[in-house]
Amino acid sequence: MELRRVVITGIGTINPLGNSISEYFTNLNNGVSGACPITRFDASLFKTKFACEVKNFDPTQFGIDKKEVKRMDLFAQFAMAASYEAVNDSKLDFENEDKDRIGVIIGSGIGGITTLTLEAMGYSEGGRVPRFNPFMIPKMIPDIAAGLVSIKYGLRGPNYATVSACASSCHAMINAFDIIRLGKADVILTGGSEAGISIQSVGGFNSAQALSVRNEDYLTASRPFDKTRDGFVMGEGAGILIFEEYERAVARGAKIYAEVCGTGMTADAYHITAPHPDGCGATKVMELALAEAGIKPEEVDYINVHGTSTPLGDIAELKAIKAVFGEHAYNVNISSTKSMTGHLLGGAGAIESIACISAMETGIIPPTINFKEEDPEIDYKLNLTLNKAQKREVNVAINNVFGFGGHNACMVFKKIK
């Protein structure tokens, strides 16, 4: 069986750097920090009082009715809005399409955790007869974002969620890629969404000592590869990409952003939260993705790294890159856009894959901002694109994502000339 080619024909995002693709690309390339004091709840008693929140978001601007808004958790609203932009960008006319051949796969690490938190708190505060919002369950479950998008557009193809912590959206995209190339669908709306800036999430990650506590300097708190990095900064939002079979996209005259040409999935099998110190799982996942793509390491121009700004993770990932790329590791551009967006958890892989597309579209490598002090354990001969964007033609880019539990995923994108 000959595997079909898969391309990206539409993109959409809601994230801390903007509520549209154009805003996102502009702020990425200008090195803007999305961090701000937390407004989602009163964080005054928490160790971490800041995050990268989505700003000025009005779901009704993205085709969502006011009544529908009340029935959706914020993570689902983000997914619906990003899907709306991606669909419009793709110029797909679903009324003239075979909807049985179009699916939706959207990942989320924690789904509607804000809904769950508020409902549980409401019950515990009154000692009353159990009385919960009838929409609590459909607002909370991680798969509801994919369900809502399919309902809105009447899409009857494969429809589900992937849940693998921070690797969730990348696993969703890998599934979409495989389904299309195997001929089981022709188009899939895929990516991820997260709205985890909540009491439980911030409190839990604080207890795990995973979040930065740099409250007095929150704008520069996410500082991958810096000696003083002290944890990740929570982000929120969604990224949706339209994956489409290549010949079909060409036939309808679609704009093609990039080809999805290789993927990899591995496990560290090491620790529930920490990466393997030698980056073994990360090394293997990049090797698998490049092998599937038929791409040599020296052909890669840009790596959007997981780069969470944690003491262990940043070092392990750079070790893996040097193991895979050898001397070419010093020629490739590397950057962590989490320095600007914060960590979107289950939505990270989607918006970072879109950042790879930005680099291909604009010829600009987005920077790793907030770097100040060298860490003796990091090799700064690597081009980490520190503090300022760099111009470069990008024909091949890869995106790495790693999740709690040791989940590793990698995607390879290639420009079609």
Q: Residue 336 corresponds to which tokens in the numbers above? A: 């962590």
Residues 200 and 266 in one domain: no
Q: What is the pLDDT of residue 278?
A: 85
Contacts 24+ apart (CB under 8 A), 41-48: 41/198, 41/199, 43/202, 46/202, 46/203, 46/206, 47/206, 47/211, 47/213, 48/202, 48/205, 48/206, 48/211, 48/212, 48/213, 48/215, 48/234
Query: Quick one: CA torsion of 174, 177, 182, 185, rounded to 10 degrees?
Result: 120
Q: What is the pLDDT of residue 117?
A: 84
407 in catalytic set: no
Q: What is the pLDDT of residue 127?
A: 59
Which of 390, 416, 372 has the alpha carbon at shortest distance from 333? 390
Local confidence band at 125 (pLDDT 50, 70, 90 cut-offs): low
306 in catalytic set: yes
Q: Is residue 256 part of a domain?
A: no
Among 223, 251, 279, the domain-final residue is: 251
Residues 266 and 384 in one domain: yes
Total tally of structural domains belonging to the chain: 2
Helix intervals (H) in 30-143? 66-70, 74-90, 113-124, 136-140
Q: What is the pLDDT of residue 143?
A: 97
**DSSP assignment, residue 166?**
B
Residues 187 and 322 in one domain: no
Helix crossing, 280-293 with 311-325: angle to 10°? 40
Range of the domain at 130: 6-251
Q: What is the pLDDT of residue 273?
A: 85
- Mean pLDDT of the chain, nearest integer: 95
Distances (CA, A) of 322 to 264, 276, 314, 333, 403: 18, 15, 13, 13, 21
Among 199, 232, 251, the domain-final residue is: 251
Residues 173 and 315 in one domain: no
Instruction: Specify the 3-state DSSP secondary structure of 121.
Output: helix
Which of 85, 79, 99, 233 has the alpha carbon at shortest distance from 141? 79
Tell if the pTM clears 0.95, that is, is over it. yes
Residues 89 and 169 in one domain: yes
The CATH number assigned to the domain holding 192 equals: 3.40.47.10
Residues 308 and 247 in one domain: no
**For 28, phi and psi rounded to 5 degrees?**
-60, -50
Instruction: Specify the 3-state DSSP secondary structure of 249.
Output: helix
Residues 220 and 177 in one domain: yes
Mean pLDDT of 110-119: 89
Residues 171 and 62 in one domain: yes
Residues 244 and 282 in one domain: no
Cα gap 354→359, rounded to integer Å = 9
Local confidence band at 19 (pLDDT 50, 70, 90 cut-offs): very high
Q: Is residue 175 part of a domain?
A: yes
Give the H/E segment covering residue 171: helix 168-181
Cα gap 69→169, rounded to integer Å = 23
Q: Is residue 109 part of a domain?
A: yes
328 in catalytic set: no
What helix, strand, coil percent values describe the chain, rounded to 5? 40, 20, 40
Please pick, among 171, 276, 306, 407, the residue that the annotation labels catalytic: 306
Please pick, among 52, 171, 276, 343, the residue that the annotation labels catalytic: 343
Cβ 171 vs Cβ 265: under 8 Å:
yes
Mean pLDDT of 219-246: 98
Residues 71 and 207 in one domain: yes
Cα gap 273→206, rounded to integer Å = 13
Local confidence band at 121 (pLDDT 50, 70, 90 cut-offs): confident
Following DSSP, what letter does each residue of 363-396 receive, concatenated?
SEEPPB----S--TTS-TTSB--BSS-EE---SE
Model confidence pLDDT, tens digit, residues 142-158: 999 999 999 999 999 99
Among 210, 231, 251, the domain-final residue is: 251
Following DSSP, what letter does each residue of 298-354 receive, concatenated?
GG--EEE----S-HHHHHHHHHHHHHHHGGGGGTSEEE-THHHH-B-GGGHHHHHHH
Please pick, among 166, 280, 356, 410, the residue that the annotation labels catalytic: 166
Distances (CA, A) of 2 to 138, 175, 289: 39, 18, 19
Cβ 301 vs Cβ 393: under 8 Å:
yes
Which of 5, 120, 151, 135 has the alpha carbon at shortest distance from 73? 135
Residues 376 and 406 in one domain: yes
